[in-house]
A and B are shown apart, each in its own frame.
Chain A
Amino acid sequence: MFLPDVSPFGLAPEAHREFLQAQLRELLEHHRASCPGYARFVGEWSENTPGRAATPEDYPFLPVTLFKEYDLSSTHDAVLSLRSSATTSALPSRIFVDRPTRNRQSLSANRILGDFVGGGRRPYLVFDVADTVRGTASMSAKGAAILSLAHLASEFHFVARQEEGELILDEEALRRALETIGDQPFLAYGFTYVLYQLHERWSAAFPVAAHPDSIFLHSGGWKRLAHIAVDKPRFNDTIAGVWGLRPANVLDFYGVVEQVGVPYPDCSAGLKHVPYWADVIIRRSDTLEPAPVGEPGLIQLVSCLPLSAPNHSVLTEDLGELALLDGCPCGRRGKAFVFRGRAPRSELRGCSDVPRT
């Protein structure tokens, strides 16, 4: 699927669309043939949406919530089931992953993140506990995010520990890790809120320093940070300040468990770029029609990676906005977007109710 000698963000928009069109057609047929639920969905879609899918925007998309409610699988050989963090619905998503899909996910994440942090393996500091990535049959979204950087890692160092249900810095583990790392540049990852919490409480009695090419990556929601009035500049300053790094070395990436393998880090212009094997379509409220540049809407994520479940095109409950279709000053080609957070809940209905049986 990956094109030889083409960087993830190297295709011009027209070539990108052509590539996607062919891939999506194949994926639709593959999942229709392998997943009965998806076949029913596509059957209905075709009936009520006359005309062939002429552009990537025309292909059917599943709401992410379905993956919490139905076991949609296109494989009998799943090696892993990815679990999202249970949010408002209290039910986690379940995404089945087989070996070929897992390989594609790893390769994809490696290429995308490599484009941002550079090639070559480095020591990897994880601000979490090792248990998060353990388990053979299933894994959390956090675990999947940690492992999405695994191919860039020469060695793992987990530098947090659990204490009374809370993640705290394991100073002893970090001290040992830094001794091993020496003055090499390293990669670090933490869940956004956890990373902030650990660095905000950093003890002055435990000074640390990092090679100037070291990179901190983080992902996860901003809701709890927004409640304590922490925005991106303050976040970056806090993390970078502890390590003596430039704030630009702290990268936020957006990703969902339904599309593991396609992280969306911020570029130097503060935008998120779409690799050629994926797409981001912003859908309008009220009609779900594609929104133009600059109009906020629901984020639809498309990825050509999934072979083991029909999660290749999903409508999220997140809001975003297309920033440009091409020509980002950072040099990456194609679409770029901004993540705006979770879609707000509408006010409750009037005097109507939901049926109680």
Chain B
Amino acid sequence: MYRERESGSLIERDGASSVVPDLRYSALTYQQRLQALDDLASDLMQRRDMAGVPGLPFLAAFLQASNLTHLIARELPAPAALERFVAIDERKSARLLPKGLVCHWMAGNVPLLGMFSWAVSVVAGNCNVIRVSSRHDDLVSPLLRRLADVSDCGRELARETAVMQFDRDDLATQRAMSAMADVRIVWGGTDAVDAIRALPCDWECDTIVLGPRVSVAVLDPQVAHESAIARLVTDIVYFDQLACSSPQWLFLKGRPGDPLFDVVIDRMAGEFDRQSRAFPRHALGFDETYRIHLDRVRVVLDGGSLRRDQRTAWTMALVEAPQPRVSCANRFLQVVPFDDIGSVSSQIPRNVQTAVTLLGDREMERFSEDAARRGVCRFPRPGEGNHFESPWDGIPLISRLTRWVLRTDGRSPMTNTGAGFGWSQPIHYSNN
């Protein structure tokens, strides 16, 4: 037994066969889908009643048509192929079609993160099933209800998305959901990812794992103005470091005692204080609170020093090298001084995702090349650490969520009304 919600209305069904929705491809055009999401973005930006939902401002900004078209253009030189065949060389045209039914498994305690991959999937024209944890509030259905209310196209898009809430131990429903997927998108920690990957699925089904990762930040006080420091702290404070994009370690150029270094630390402390009050943290479990105290003392006994509040709201631990057993969660940052940018890359963990970076041009060039080879997938500026974008985790999502169709044309492609892909050109991914 599971509960399925469509467009926010609860439908009770039993039996795995009834899980499969009739829809696989969106009935709307690419432009209609973009417009519906843009309408939802405008609506969310004005809503006060949902202001406290973690990540909602990021999501609203992400759903804007201007952002989505930018993101798609980054990956596809001719987004028109999402609507029709477009010439890609002298004899070939290409068309990008949705993969079909995309099933999303959200991360338990950062539920809105999964909405980003949902939006990319929607834009590509797929129909979607979203599984939300039965142990957490369903924040997705209210969003779909808003979508259904904003326009007729919004209602259609909401209809093309089913939200299912069931327990992670409900293996029968897990298997049914996996079996019907054309693409599985899995967000979450190692246990969740392993469990879902182990579910049987169609041989053709693609599985996109947006799995457990960690992020860091790298800053040169010479180029870090005050607002950049405030934005970096927002990257850390937001989501309570539960997101893969939340920096856990900050590599800060200089040494304690250097005036610029100390200024950055002081400003960050002030920002942690201010933002911890402005953005209340989730209610910590006893073990999480205990862990903060334990990690603080570990740092001190190992020779580090602390900047912290008098309770447990935030902590900056100044350490010579990252302390692996110190858990950087719930607004606990390790700050590691460095003199030479070359020494930073070697300290980057294997499971890295993002390096929020603010360096001078030459150091940026050197560091990003080295760190990308170590596994870093993104180098956003401070304040953009948690801005979802594609590629994410190094995965070009639009490409993975579309089926590429090639047509050999009997006539010259130059007569085609499409502008042409310029497919012979390499595809460049950039953050600009």
B294–A65 contact, CB under 8 A? Answer: yes
Contact (Cβ within 8 A) A317 B242: no
CA distance A284 to B347 in the complex (A): 36
Q: Which of B184-192, B395-403, B417-425 contacts A (4 or more CB under 8 A)?
A: B184-192
CA gap between A216 and B296 in the complex, in Å: 41
- Known contacts A63-B293, A350-B113; can you find 16 more A-B pairs with CB under 8 A? A69-B298, A283-B289, A284-B289, A288-B312, A343-B285, A347-B108, A347-B135, A350-B107, A351-B113, A351-B212, A351-B213, A352-B248, A353-B189, A353-B214, A355-B214, A355-B324
Stretch at the interface among A37-45, A165-173, A234-242: A37-45
Residues of B within 8 A of A289 (CB): 311
Interface check B1, CB cutoff 8 A: no
Q: Chain A interface (Cβ within 8 Å of chain B)?
A: 37, 40-41, 44, 48-49, 62-63, 65-66, 69-70, 283-289, 297-298, 315, 317, 319, 343-357
Measured as residues with beta carbon below 8 angstroms from the partner, the interface class of chain B is 35 or more
For A66, give its contact among B107, B249, B297 (CB under 8 Å).
Answer: B297
With A44-B306, A49-B310, A288-B312 known as contacts, the answer to whether A352 contacts B244 (CB < 8 A) is yes
Binary contact readout B276-302 vs A (1 if CB under 8 angstroms, 0 otherwise): 000001011111111001101110110
Chain B: minimal CB distance from A102 (Å): 26
Instruction: Kindly list chain A residues whose C-beta atoms are within 8 Å of the C-beta of B108.
Output: 347-348, 350
Measured CA separation A297–B284 after assembly (Å): 12
Bound-state Cα–Cα, A288 to B310, Å: 10
Residues of chain B within 8 A of A48, CB atoms compared: 306, 308, 310
In the complex where A348-B189, A349-B109 touch, is A357 in contact with B349 (Cβ < 8 A)?
yes
Nearest A residue (CB) for B289: A285
Contacting residue for A354 out of B107, B191, B214, B297, CB 8 A: B214
CB-defined interface of B240-272 with A at 8 Å, one 1/0 digit per residue? 011110101100000000000000000000000
Instruction: Kindly provide the distance from the CB of B212 to the nearest chain A CB, expressed in whole angstroms.
Output: 4
A345 cross-chain contacts in B, Cβ below 8 A: 285, 287
Are A317's CB and B287's CB within 8 A? yes
Contact of B350 among A44, A65, A70, A357 (CB under 8 A): A357
**Is A351 within 8 A of B244, CB to CB?**
yes
**Chain B residue nearest in CB terms to A72:** B301
Expressed in whole angstroms, the Cα–Cα distance for A183 and B132 within the complex equals 65
Contacts of B293 in A (CB 8 A): 63, 288, 315
Chain B hits for A348, CB < 8 A? 108, 189, 191-192
CB-contact partner of B285 in A69, A70, A285, under 8 A: A285
Quote the shortest CB–CB distance from A345 to chain B (angstroms): 6
Q: Is B312's CB under 8 angstroms from A352's CB?
A: no
Q: How far is the CA of A40 from the CA of B296 in the complex (A)?
A: 12
Closest 9 A/B residue pairs (Cβ)? A350-B110, A346-B285, A353-B212, A355-B349, A343-B286, A350-B107, A350-B242, A63-B294, A351-B244
The answer to whether the Cβ of B118 comes within 8 Å of any Cβ in the partner chain is no
- List residues of chain A with CB within 8 A of the CB of B306: 44, 48
Bound Cα distance from A349 to B256, whole angstroms: 32
Residue from B109, B285, B310, B324 in contact with A350 in the complex, judged by beta carbons closer than 8 Å: B109
Q: Is the CB of B283 within 8 A of A285?
A: yes
Report the nearest A residue to B133, measured CB to CB.
A347
Complex-state Cα separation, A350 to B238, whole angstroms: 13
With A350-B109, A352-B244, A356-B351 already in contact, the answer to whether A344 and B285 are too (CB < 8 A) is yes
Roughly how many angstroms separate A297 CA and B305 CA in the complex, as a whole number? 28
Using Cβ atoms and an 8 Å threshold, which residues of chain B touch A317? 286-287, 290
Q: List 14 A-B contacts (CB under 8 A).
A: A41-B297, A66-B298, A70-B301, A286-B283, A286-B312, A298-B286, A317-B286, A344-B285, A346-B287, A350-B189, A351-B213, A355-B248, A355-B322, A357-B347
Residues of chain B in range 160-214 having any CB-CB distance to chain A below 8 Å? 187-192, 210-214
Contacts of B246 in A (CB 8 A): 352
Tell me which residues across on chain A come within 8 A of B328, comparing CB atoms.
355
Interface residue B239 (Cβ < 8 Å from any Cβ of A): yes
CB < 8 Å neighbour of A355 from B243, B285, B310, B351: B351
Q: Counting CB contacts under 8 A, is B368 at the interface? A: no
Determine the distance from Cα of A353 to Cα of B286 in the docked complex, in whole angstroms: 20
Contacting pair B305 A351 (CB below 8 A): no
